[in-house]
Every structure is written in C-alpha cells, then in structure tokens.
Amino acid sequence: MAGEPKNIFRIHLGLFLAELMCIPAFAFEMYRALSGNILSWAYVVEWPALGIYAIYMWKKMLREERGQVKVKRSKGVEDDARLEAWNAYLASIHQSDQPVTPDNREV
C-alpha cells in the first residue's frame, strides 16, 4: 500500500538517525582539525557530504513510498513490444522442442 504510515515513519527515523550521527561527527572533526590534526580536514568534508546524501535518499525513498516515482519513457518501451513479439515467435517455432535433461541426453 503506497504511503503506509509505518514505512514513512521508518524513513523519517532513518534520516533523523543519520543526521544525528553526521552533525556531531562533523563538529568533532572540525574541533580536531582546528587543533592541528591535518587528517581531520578530510572528515570535515566527508561528514556533511554523508548528511547531504542521507537527505537525498530520504527524499527519494519518500517519493517511492508515496508512489510519486517518475518513470522515464524512452526507446525501451518500443523495444519491449518488439521483444515480446520476438519471444512469441520463438515460442511458436520451438513448441515441439524437448529440453535436454540428464535422462534423455543425446549421445
């Protein structure tokens, strides 16, 4: 069922926990970087990037849960019809074929 409250709550909780982890980690690494730890500057950039990615995934998962996913229409739609026609053709030709199993192997 699209938009089930239990799943939407879990998505919100996931974002909350991700941000709850990223924000203090960013503050901690900023403190260490300003104290002279050069390696911490990499983490100063990494934690906000992870927080932004969490927000991106939160939006995407909410759209999917609510059924608002945009479907890209492309050349593949035409290809699907042609593929189905080809598979139907092959099925009609090979109806009498028997699968090769260990019991009826050809020697």
CA 20, CA 46: separation in Å to the nearest integer? 15
pTM over 0.85: no
For position 11, what pLDDT does the model report?
92
For position 46, what pLDDT does the model report?
96
Opening angle at CA 56, ends 52 and 60, nearest 5: 165
For position 19, what pLDDT does the model report?
94
Q: What is the pLDDT along the chain (107 residues), one digit of tens a residue?
A: 455 788 899 999 999 999 999 999 999 999 999 999 999 999 999 999 999 999 999 999 998 888 877 666 666 566 788 888 888 888 888 877 776 677 766 55
CA 79, CA 104: separation in Å to the nearest integer? 37
In the three-class reduction of DSSP (H, G, I as helix; E, B as strand; rest coil), residue 104 is classed as: coil
For position 104, what pLDDT does the model report?
64
For position 94, what pLDDT does the model report?
81
Phi, psi values for residue 2, rounded to 5°: -70, 135
